[in-house]
Structure formats: C-alpha cells, structure tokens
C-alpha cells in the first residue's frame, strides 16, 4: 500500500493510474455497524475480529500465492497485513488494530518494520497495539462482552472462524449477535464502497473488451485468461481475480465451473464455436464478476444469434424490472420465462411457456440461479439470513444464492444463461413431463453448442437498476468490436502458425 | 490436460506451442521408488499417497485460485484432479489411481465425468478405481503393509499430511520408511524430469528478458510482475508461478521476501535505482526460480557496477567449482569469500577476507543461503535427511537449505546476493568484531541502495555444473539487452505520462 502524496488523508492505491480508496470507507462501515449493534448489545460490548493468515501450500514453506484478507475483517478496517486483529467498541466506535509483534530480524525478510504509530496512521484508526496486548487493551476499553463472529456461509455451508486469543476465556463472549448484523450491513453498499466496485467493474469490462479483440481461432482458451489477468493488473492494479477464470470455448461452454484443476482452460479455441468467458478482477478486496459470450470468429451464425438473443432478452428484461420491492425469485422466473419464450419462438420448444415453467424447464437450460450479491466476496454474504425468505425448493430456483426482496444499495449480478448439457437434455427427453415441450430434432442440432451466459454487475438504485458493466452486448456491437483488433495486443507467432490448424482433439 | 493427436502415448501439454510431458516420466519415478524401497520392505508392501484438495478461501465457496497438486503425489503419478489417491505395489510396481465417485449431476458443473477407463489411459497407470474402493483394491493387491508418508519438511518445519481413508485401521501402516526414501528419489532428477525443468527455466528466462526490455522509470513494480506472468502463461502455458513474485526496486531490494501482502510490489520504479526481480514460472508442477538485477534506466552507475560485479563473480566462482563430491557448505563459503574480496577491492571493506569470514561478515551482506534444491517444490525436499550432514550453526551458513555433498542429477539454485539492510549494518557497526572490517563512510553511501541478487538454476552433471538459465548476466549484456525495447510490449499510456514524474513517496 502506498500513500499518494497528492492526498493528505490516508488511502490505498496501486499507483497514480489506479483508484485511491480513502480509509474513510472503513470508518463509515464501522459507524454503520455500531449503529446497527447499539440497540441490541450492552454498553460495554466490543466487536473482535481476527484477520487472515497465510495458508501454506501443503507442508511446504511457500504459501498459496499472494495473501488475500478475510472479507469481514477487510470490511471493518482494510488492514492488508497477515496475523492481525481488530477491536471496535460499540458505544463510541473506538477502533483498535492489533498487529503481530515481530522480532527485529524480520526486517531482513519483510522490510522495515512499521511502528504502531505508522500502522495507526496508515489505517486511520484510533489506536494500534500488538496482538499479545489484546487482553489488556480490551480491559482498557472497558469490554464487558466480546462480540465475536460465528455463522454459516449460506453458499459454502462453512462456518467462519471465530476470533481467538490467549486469555479469551476471561471474557464473556457472545457468538451469535454479530454475524447476522454485520452480514446485513455488508449487503447494502455505501457510496464509498460503490466507488471501488464501479472501478473494479470498469477495469474488468475494459479487460473483457481487450480479450474480445484478441481472440483468434487456433489460440488456447487460457491465453484469453492470460490477456485478462495482464490487463487488469497492468492497467488497473488488480493483483487478484475474484475467482478462477472460466474460459470456455465450444462445448466447454456447457460446463459451469470450467477452468478447475481437471479442466484448466486448456482447449484450443476453434473457428465456428462460441466463447463463454467469465472473469472478474479484484481491487482492495472488492470483486467484479462479468461474463461475455461471443463467436470465436467474430460473426454470429443464425443458431448462435438465436441463443444469444434469447439470453440477452432475459438479461434486459431483468435489468428493466429490477428495483426496490421486487423479489429476486420473481426476477429469476422472469428471466426463465423470457428465455424459454424466445427458444419457443426459435422452434426449439413448443407449448405454453407458463406450463414449461411449471414443468421445471427453466432449470434444464439454466441449471444455475439468476445471480447473486457481490461485494468483498464474489458471492457476497447475507443471502439467507434468518429474517429473510428461505431458500426455494423448485429446481433451478433452489440454486439462487438469495431469495430476498431488492433494496437500494444492493449490488448483484444478473447472469441468465442457456446451456446444452447432455446430462440434463437426456434426462429431460426421458421425462414425459418435460419432453413434450422439447422439439427433439431441433435441439439435437445444439448438442455440441456449449452455452451462452450474459452476466452484468448491477446496483439497485432508489428507482431501478444501474448496470455498472460496460461491455458490448448486442450482436451488432460485439461484431463491430471484434473487427477492431487491438494494435497493442500481442498474438504469439505460434498462434498465427497453427491458425485453423490445431489437431481436432485439442478440443475436448 | 489434452492429448496431442500427433503423439500416440499419453502426455500432458498446454497446447502445440508448449512442452509435451510424457506420462512415462511418472512411470520412471515409480520404478525408481520401488527399486529403492524393495530391499527395506516386505513383499506385500504398498505405497499409499493422498493427493491435494481445494482449499476454501476462509469460509467462502471460492477456493484459493487454481488448484495446485501436492508435490509427492504429483511426482508419483501426475494426476491433476482433486481428491485422488494413488497406490503403488512395491514388489512389481503395479499402480492404481483412485478418483472420487462423483454424482452424475456434477457434469453440469465440472464437465463430462471421465470414466475409470479414461483416467487409466490419461495417466497411463495399470488400474483405476474409486476412492471408496480403496480397502477392497488394497486387499486385491495383497497389501500386508501400507507405506504412508509422514515426515517433516526441513524448510517449513511442517509435517506432511499422512494419507487417510475409511478402513485404514484394518491395515498395518508404516509411517516412517517412505518419507526419507521418496525424498531422496526426488533429489536426483531423471532425464525426463530434467526436460521439464529445462523447459520451465527457459520460459522463465525469456520472460525475464521481456521484463528487462519493458522496464521504464515511472512504472510500478507490480507491472513487471504482470509482464512476467503474462509471458509465461501466454507463451509457455504456465498457469502458476512457483512462489509470490518478488519485484523490488531501489531500497526494497534489501527486503528478501518483498512482494508479500504488506508490501505487494506496489512502489514506483525510479530512475537511478536498481531492480531486483525474483520470479519463476511453474509447468506441470515443476518449478523455476530466477533472479535478475539491473538498473532501472538501463545503464549501471559505478556503484551499481561494483556491487553487481561482486555478486556476479561470486555466482561464477560457484558455477565453476560446483561438481560432484563438493560440499554445498563450501560453495556458500566460496561465494561469500569472493564477494567480500570484491567489496574490499572496491573500498567498502578492509582487512583479511579469511578473518572477515570468521567474523561472520558474510551474513551481514548476504543473510540468506547460497541456494537450494529445486524441483516439484521451489525449495525442494531432501535437504536435511537423517543420513545427511546436519544444518550448520554459523550465521548465514545456517540458512542453507541443504549442507549436502553434490551429486550428478541434483538441481539447485546458485543465488549469491549483496544487500544493504539498515538493521544488519547497524548491528555490524556496533559490533567491534565486525566493525573493524567495515569502511563506514563508504558503506554509508549505499544505505538506500537496496540489493543485488543473481540467481541461476543449475544441474549438477557428472563433471561439473550446467547453467539452465539463459538471461543476460554481464553488465555489458544487460545494458545491450535493455537498449532493445520490445515492439510487442505494451507500455500503458499512464506510464509514459508520469515518466520521471511520480510523487517521491511512491517509493517507500
């Protein structure tokens, strides 16, 4: 982290060409949390969170590359060093950051050790101390009760690690109050948080456009990942992506979590196929999450256009309908309805769209949810708090990461998709309830099509929904963009050499 | 993983422009291990290793990006999927890979599920089965005893995770025999492994040259990391780096593990300073580890040349002396001796070099070891096995990751360095034993110099030492290389704009 000399207040930035994030962002988060907690906790309540540590790669002395801070901790104070704690006195918002006490010789490995005073000014908190001083400082804060984080992440099913320190048994600890309240605070983004999200979504949008302009038949899928990651780091200062890049071409587009260890974006990108690229940069912890789908050769076929426009209409329908007071479950159904209607108009389906929905046809072509909260986690917290509607049970809808009613300040992805998954098509064709809607001989044509997903990051405003994503979306815009090959993009010579000439089994 | 159509035998590759690694590499590793084990274990002994799993990022549903396989497991079978096991019957080398039994609907998320037959052919093993079949298959192999991995990594101090499965209590398990023997096998590289190491070192060398040609005053340090990572991925198919990239400029060059979370390569690269860039790509698990040091503006000053040449002479002296039968400890001392001698000749030190060594002056300027084994781990295993010389106790020398006598087939880094660390200089100046060798007013000039490290990856041959690294090393070569700006390298416009114009505190 550097402090920009042009600015007097403390902030984070990755250089003059990147966004400067003021530490006030976290001060505001802390004020909001204290306000939300005050009516529910005693006067002497103090929030205590434990930050992340580096995770060793198996039993070796290297860690999983590049430390990422834990999201609740990041939200509260933005501290980037490993092994820290933070305490927040609810009554007056006094904040203390605790850093590890390092031996002097660490300077050789880690650099000049910052003093407590330097940490205090770097993060603009009221006080700093060493981790071994936690009990004493909590005493001095008059802590009668510690509010510690314990709760289940509704996406992973994992329970977050509660803060723990030597001497915690001397304190009264409340493990239940904090989690739902801080999660709810995280659901509604502040203007300062939105500025960071706008920035990282913009940088990711630019990188997607760069990728679009650099795709040539014969390249490897992961080379698109390389272009994306390079762009967001070089131009945006984004060291991390928010999730493993999903770079599918052709039939791989029907694999929702493509890019994993067993399928690491390692196929050749073939003329005539579609790309489905789902990638999002991360800046100071804040995520973006964008998917672009387009033809490898820059020109949609009639079939590609049919499926693409069906998904795009679903995306736009939600974009137009999403606003405060609307249920996200209804938005999912709306997207399904529009997409199935378009597929029927295109001759792939037959019958009444309402009946299709009842028969669960939405989940045959879009087995995932419409979208999710996004913030410091790409699948952000707060989707299913106790006060909120429970997870629906219908196929497809059950995959939604939240069933909540929209409110201003929520940030979500809108990401309808249409996929031709053999496993799901075979099951649907074998099921009389579903098969009567399927035009089997038309659908057969799409067996190796893969899929289309159109994913935007949006903000729910007072009156509607603002799309933060800035990428070409219509067929015409995409075709125009892909004609503009970037002068600055480097196409390795081997790619030109093997153009159109990859062995056919480079494609899985 | 893809199978190149031009080849009939199974192999790993990331595309036609990348290296194809034959599965025979792992078959050979297995044969070597069985030969080494046979004299020590009963006839019915079966090796059982557990592969890696994805590590969730805190309590979220995303994992630390991009799965990396555990190194011992990788060495034995090269399997890239998560959650696998491998069994190896020592008597005849029969190998069984166990994969998780996944529900059919995983195809939607992970792609078409490979059959056991497909895994068998992908990894060229004798048999494949599901993880839940481990006990039955071990029975069928006639296992009377399981050889399971348990041992301490001498770099991290961590104990590796022993394989465990439901029903292991029904077997006799030997936790001690395997670790030293398989570690020793990993120390000596086969010709097939060397081919991969040569490849990844070559790709990393090319990337370092690319970085050198793209450095301009005013850029940010992490932009060099971005160029490196992009090059090795785009051109070499290397998705991972082997450790967090260390991109220092100026005084940061004296921070050995710069690049960590609290100092993420986020300073401006300033005219007149040195760069010290330590980065290495990874291909199919195999590491490279290269450091280049050079002036930001492409032209060495007299002081920069003095320190650089002192380190280079140390590097070359080791390169010339390293051969079978030579102790690595002696090589460390040789490097110290040559470097201190050069510094004395340059007027920074005074007195007898042997006396300096006895006084521990080597560790004042090079607080780290000369180098380490390199293979599937960047700090490869086998440095301090029970049969080998113990860790030395003298300052500096004690940091060596091995004290062994060199043998043909070992791969190591040779990485002497010279750093001006305030903390160490102050301590040495305050210590009469050391201070009498220091020319204080000359050394004062280097207080903000940072450091120089010259790190090569080498193979010990029958007669000497082969440098696998191909980067410009002499002052003249570096200056010549840096004059050749790459046409293909994209310098973001903001860099040209702020050239020479960064606020001074962009530099820590």
* pLDDT of amino acid B6: 42
E strand or H helix at A417: strand A417-419
Burial A299-333 (b: 16+ CB within 10 A, else e): ebeeebebbbbbbbbbbbbbbebbebebebbbbbb
Contact A15 B220 (CB under 8 A): yes
Q: Give Cα separations from A91 to A34, A41, A74, A135, B432 (angstroms).
A: 7, 9, 21, 19, 55
- Write out chain B residues lying below 8 Å of A502, CB-based: 16
How far apart CA A496 and CA A488 sit, in angstroms, is: 16
Which of B66, B153, B267 faces A244 most closely, judged by CB atoms? B66
- For A220, the closest of B14, B156, B262 (CB atoms) is B14
Q: Which residues pair with A458 in a beta bridge?
A: A412, A467
Q: Taking the CA of residue A217 as centre, how many other CA atoms within 13 Å lie in the half-sphere pointing to its CB?
A: 17
List all residues of chain B from 134 to 173 with a beta carbon under 8 Å from chain A.
152-153, 155-156, 158-161
Taking a contact as any Cβ pair under 8 Å apart, which residues of chain B between 314 and 373 contact chain A? 367
Positions of chain A with pLDDT lower than 50, given as ranges: 1-7, 487-508
Give the mutation candidate from B65, B259, B372 for the A interface (greatest A CB count, under 10 A). Answer: B65
Q: Which of B14, B68, B234 sits opposite A492 (nearest CB)?
A: B234
User: Does the structural domain A12-187 have CATH classification 3.30.420.110?
Assistant: no
Please report, in angstroms and rounded to a whole number, the separation of the first and last CA atoms in chain A: 43
Angle at B380 between CA B379 and CA B385, to 5 degrees: 115
Contacts of B494 in chain A (CB under 8 A): 16-17
Closest Cα to residue B358, out of B339, B337, B389?
A: B337
| Interchain CB distance below 8 Å, A155 and B60 | yes
Which segments of chain B have a pLDDT < 70? 1-8, 486-508
Q: Which of A373, A304, A366, A371 is nearest to A340 (CA)?
A: A366
CB contact under 8 Å between B15 and A220, yes or no, is yes
B430 interfaces chain A, CB cutoff of 8 Å: no
- What pairing do the DSSP bridges indicate for beta strands B127-130 and B95-99? parallel
CATH top class, domain A191-483 = alpha beta
Note the pLDDT tens digit of each residue in A285-333: 999 999 999 999 999 999 999 999 999 999 999 999 999 999 999 999 9
- A106 CB near a chain B CB, below 8 Å? no
Tokens of B298: 């492409």
Paired tokens of A504: 């056919």
H or E stretch at A287: strand A286-287
Q: Is the pTM of this model over 0.90?
A: yes
Q: State whether residue A65 sits within 8 Å of chain B by CB.
A: yes
Distance CA A220, CA A502 (A): 10
A428, with CB counted inside 10 A (0-12, 13-18, 19+), is buried
Distance of CA A281 to the CA centre of its chain: 9
pLDDT confidence of residue B485: 79
Interface test with B, best of A19, A162, A226, A269 (most B CBs within 10 A): A226
- Establish if A60 touches chain B: CB-CB under 8 angstroms: yes
Mutate to test the interface with B, among A260, A364, A384, A425 (most CBs of B within 10 A): A260
Across the A:B interface, residue pairs with CB atoms under 8 Å apart total: 290
Give me the count of residues in chain A.
Answer: 508
Q: For position A97, what pLDDT does the model report?
A: 98
A-interface mutation test, from B261, B448, B506, B507, most A Cβ less than 10 A away: B261
In chain A, how many H helices and how many E strands? 17, 19
Residue numbers in A near B244 (CB within 8 A): 62-63, 65-66
Instruction: Determine the distance in angstroms separating the CA of A490 from the nearest CA of chain B, rounded to an integer.
Output: 6
CA of A463 to nearest chain B CA: how many angstroms apart? 31
* Contacts with A82 from chain B: Cβ below 8 Å: 260-262
Q: Does B500 touch chain A (CB under 8 A)?
A: no
The CA distances from residue B359 to A374, B356, B397, B434, B437, in Å, are 58, 5, 13, 6, 9
Interface residue of B111, B372, B398 to substitute, partner A, most A CBs within 10 Å: B111
Contact A230 B226 (CB under 8 A): yes
Please check whether residue A470 touches B, CB under 8 A: no
Rounded alpha-carbon distances, angstroms, from residue B427 to A160, A480, A507, B422, B433: 43, 65, 61, 8, 11
d(CA A480, CA A476): 6
Q: Choose among B223, B348, B236: nearest CA to B275.
A: B223
Of B109, B260, B423, the CB nearest to A104: B423
Angle at B179 between CA B176 and CA B182, to 5 degrees: 140
CB B382 within 8 A of CB B348: no
Q: Which of B71, B78, B70, B67 is nearest to B27 (CA)?
A: B78
Report chain A residues whose CB lies below 8 A from the CB of B6. 503
Contact between A462 and A287 under an 8 Å Cβ cutoff? The reply is no
Q: What residue ranges do the domains of chain A occupy?
A: 12-187, 191-483
- Using alpha carbons, select from B88, B96, B86 the residue that is nearest to residue B47: B88
Q: State the helix-helix crossing angle for A221-236 and B221-236, rounded to 10 degrees.
A: 170
SS3 call for A426: helix
A460-464: long-range contacts at Cβ-Cβ below 8 A with a sequence spacing of 24 or more? A460/A322, A460/A323, A460/A324, A460/A406, A460/A407, A460/A408, A460/A409, A460/A410, A460/A411, A460/A412, A461/A323, A461/A408, A462/A324, A462/A408, A463/A323, A463/A324, A464/A320, A464/A322, A464/A323
At CA A438, angle to CA A436 and CA A441, rounded to 5?
120
How remote is the C-alpha of A57 from its chain's centroid?
24
**Would you call A82 and B3 a contact, using CB atoms and an 8 Å cutoff?**
no
Mutate to test the interface with B, among A230, A268, A360 (most CBs of B within 10 A): A230
Q: Do A56 and B266 touch (CB under 8 A)?
A: no
Contact: A110, B257; criterion CB under 8 Å: yes
Which residues of chain A neighbour B289 with C-beta distances below 8 Å?
none
A244 and chain B: CB distance < 8 Å anywhere? yes
Tokens linked to B352: 């007898």
Nearest CB partner across the interface for B5, out of A15, A64, A503: A503
B75-110 pLDDT tens trace:
999 999 999 999 999 999 999 999 999 998 888 988
Q: Which residue of B has its CA nearest to A156?
A: B61
Distance CA A197, CA A26 (A): 14
Which residues, other chains included, contact B152 with Cβ-Cβ below 8 Å and sequence gap of 6+?
A59, B158, B159
B167-186 residues touching A, CB cutoff 8 A? none
Nearest to A111 among B59, B67, B263 (CB): B263
pLDDT value of residue A8? 59
Per CB-CB distance under 8 Å, the chain A contacts of B57 are 68
Task: State how far the Cα of B279 lies from the Cα of B288, in Å rounded to an integer.
Answer: 8
Q: Is B46 helix (H, G, I), strand (E, B) or coil?
A: strand
Q: What angle do CA B328, B333, B335 make, to 5 degrees?
A: 95
DSSP state of B499: T
Chain B contacts of A152, Cβ < 8 Å? Answer: 59
| pLDDT score at A64 | 79
Other Cβ atoms less than 10 A from the Cβ of B135: the count is 15
| CB-based contacts of A150, cutoff 8 Å, min separation 6 | A159, A160, A162, A175, A176, A178, A179
Sheet holding A95-99, edge to edge: A127-130, A95-99, A85-89, A45-50, A145-148, A173-174
Distance CA(A289)–CA(A376), nearest Å, equals: 12
- Contact (Cβ atoms closer than 8 angstroms) between residue B353 and residue B429: no
Cα gap A408→A411, rounded to integer Å: 9
**B488 Cβ neighbours under 8 A, 6+ residues apart:** A490
The DSSP annotation for A97-117 comes to EEE----TTHHHHH-SPPPHH
pLDDT score, position B8: 60
> Given this model, what pLDDT does residue B305 score?
98
Q: For chain B, say whether A42 makes contact (Cβ under 8 Å).
A: no
Q: Decide if B422 and A112 are in contact by the 8 Å CB cutoff.
A: yes
Residue listed under structure tokens 């770097």: A122
* Residue A1 pLDDT: 40
């Amino acid at each position: 982290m550097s402090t920009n000399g042009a600015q007097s207040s403390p902030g984070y930035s990755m250089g003059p060409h990147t966004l400067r994030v003021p530490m006030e962002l976290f001060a505001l988060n802390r004020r909001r949390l204290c306000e939300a907690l005050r009516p529910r906790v005693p006067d002497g309540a103090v929030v205590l969170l434990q930050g992340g540590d580096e995770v060793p790669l198996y039993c070796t002395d290297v860690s999983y590359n590049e430390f990422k801070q834990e999201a609740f901790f990041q939200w509260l104070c933005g501290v980037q060093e490993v092994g820290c704690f933070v305490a927040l006195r609810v009554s007056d918002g006094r904040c203390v950051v605790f850093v590890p006490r390092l031996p002097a010789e660490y300077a050789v490995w880690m650099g000049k050790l910052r003093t407590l005073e330097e940490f205090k000014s770097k993060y603009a908190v009221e006080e700093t101390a060493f981790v071994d001083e936690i009990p004493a400082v909590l005493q001095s804060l008059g802590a009668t009760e510690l509010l510690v984080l314990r709760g289940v992440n509704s996406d992973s099913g994992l329970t977050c690690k509660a803060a723990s320190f030597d001497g915690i048994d001397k304190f009264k600890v409340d493990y239940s109050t904090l989690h739902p309240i801080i999660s709810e605070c995280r659901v509604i983004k502040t203007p300062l948080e939105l500025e960071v999200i706008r920035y990282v979504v913009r940088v990711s949008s630019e990188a997607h456009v760069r990728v679009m302009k650099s795709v040539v038949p014969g390249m490897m899928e992961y080379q698109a990942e390389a272009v994306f990651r390079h762009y967001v780091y070089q131009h945006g200062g984004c060291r991390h992506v928010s999730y493993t890049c999903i770079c599918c071409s052709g039939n791989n587009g029907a694999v929702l979590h493509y890019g994993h260890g067993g399928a690491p974006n390692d196929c050749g990108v073939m003329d005539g196929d579609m790309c489905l690229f789902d990638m999002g940069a991360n800046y100071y912890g804040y995520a973006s999450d964008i998917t672009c789908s387009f033809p490898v050769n820059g020109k949609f076929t009639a079939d590609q256009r049919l499926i693409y426009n069906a998904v795009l209409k679903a995306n736009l329908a939600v974009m137009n309908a999403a606003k405060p007071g609307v249920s996200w479950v209804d938005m999912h159904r709306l997207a399904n309805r529009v997409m199935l209607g378009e597929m029927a108009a295109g001759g792939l389906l037959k019958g009444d769209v309402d009946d299709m929905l009842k028969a669960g046809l939405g989940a045959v072509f879009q087995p995932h949810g419409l979208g999710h909260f996004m913030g410091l986690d790409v699948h952000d917290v707060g989707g299913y708090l106790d006060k909120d509607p429970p997870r629906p049970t219908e196929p497809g809808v059950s995959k939604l990461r939240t069933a909540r009613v929209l409110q201003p300040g929520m940030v979500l992805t809108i990401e309808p998709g249409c996929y031709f998954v053999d496993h799901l098509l075979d099951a649907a064709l074998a099921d009389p309830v579903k098969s009567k809607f399927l035009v089997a001989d038309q659908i057969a044509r799409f067996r190796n099509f893969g899929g289309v997903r159109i994913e935007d990051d949006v903000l729910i405003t007072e009156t509607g929904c603002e799309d933060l994503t800035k990428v070409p979306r219509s067929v015409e815009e995409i075709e125009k963009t892909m004609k503009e090959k970037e002068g600055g993009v480097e196409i390795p010579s081997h790619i030109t050499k093997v153009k159109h000439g990859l062995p056919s089994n480079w494609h899985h």
